């Protein structure tokens, strides 16, 4: 019988207490990886890890603030100590704040915090993990970007951070490739996570703008992460994989407008 795709692998997933991070941790564990589930909220991390263990997987929880270098270094060291190695890093943790009505009223602290967690956080995590990923001989970094990094969907700081993360993916891929580590990014469209809680009407409207007729689920993104982290993607690095239901490739709203149909953005 063929062993699971991540048999013998160890992975660290940030922001894994809920949403895309939790789904990714579950997916990697279901395919054989030992997973360090990290989250700013330690209780959320524990719940995800417990659910993975209940399902027969291997997982440990750890509270980790990716805005704190010491906490990041501790998390990477914890993964290596607990599992004996580190093969996969998934940079999923992010921060977001609502735009001010006028750009000139944007707040410096909110801007800085969003960039620090969303862009500099993956930088800290990748820096700490890289020597261990090199040592594994099959290391992979997969970061979670966004369609916001490629097109305007609002969110000045968040979009700038995600665009920067795509650039970091490319430059780090060039640096790490000769050392045997692949670096890629998944760019999701609208995904049903806690960030959309209480906004079901907006999600329903948004679904109509997707060529595939629905918004994404966390598991859709986890599947793409698992592919890029695995040996199935052994000759892929420095790429951005859009997992967006066709949003950026097909302008559904425009097509409907030209056909005389109604449609509005969510």
| Token code pair at residue 121 | 């956080």
Q: Are 44 and 18 in contact (CB under 8 A)?
A: yes
| Residue 52 to residue 58: CA distance in whole angstroms | 7
HSE, side-chain direction, 13 A CA sphere, residue 231: 9
Active site residue 210: no
Say how far apart CA 95 and CA 119 lie, in whole Å. Answer: 9
The dihedrals phi and psi of 179, each to the nearest 5 degrees, come to -100, 5
Among 61, 25, 26, 27, smallest CA distance to 45 is for 61
Write down the catalytic residue from 9, 94, 123, 158: 158
Cβ–Cβ under 8 Å, residues 31 and 6: yes
List, by residue number, the catalytic residues.
158
């Amino acid at each position: 019988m063929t062993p699971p795709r991540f048999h013998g692998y160890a992975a660290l997933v940030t922001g894994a207490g809920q949403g895309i991070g939790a789904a990714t941790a579950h997916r990697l564990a279901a395919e054989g990886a030992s997973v360090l589930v990290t989250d700013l909220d330690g209780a959320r991390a524990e719940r995800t890890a417990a659910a993975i263990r209940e399902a027969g997987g291997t997982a440990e929880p750890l509270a980790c603030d990716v805005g704190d270098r010491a906490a990041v270094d501790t998390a990477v060291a914890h993964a290596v100590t607990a599992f004996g190695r580190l093969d996969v890093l998934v940079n999923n943790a992010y921060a977001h704040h609502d735009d001010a009505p006028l750009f000139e009223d944007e707040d410096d602290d909110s801007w800085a915090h969003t960039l620090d967690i969303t862009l500099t956080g993956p930088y800290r995590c990748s820096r700490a993990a890289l020597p261990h990923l090199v040592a594994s001989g099959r290391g992979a970094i997969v970061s979670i970007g966004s369609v916001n990094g490629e097109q305007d969907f609002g969110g000045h700081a968040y979009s700038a951070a995600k665009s920067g993360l795509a650039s970091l993916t490319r430059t780090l891929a060039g640096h790490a490739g000769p050392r045997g580590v692949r670096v890629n990014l998944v760019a999701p469209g609208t995904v049903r996570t806690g960030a959309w809680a209480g906004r079901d009407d907006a999600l329903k409207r948004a679904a109509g703008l997707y060529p595939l007729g629905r918004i994404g689920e966390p598991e859709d993104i986890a599947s793409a992460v698992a592919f890029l982290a695995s040996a199935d993607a052994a000759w892929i690095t420095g790429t951005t994989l859009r997992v967006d239901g066709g949003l950026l490739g097909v302008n559904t709203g425009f097509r409907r407008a030209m056909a005389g149909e109604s449609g509005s953005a969510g």
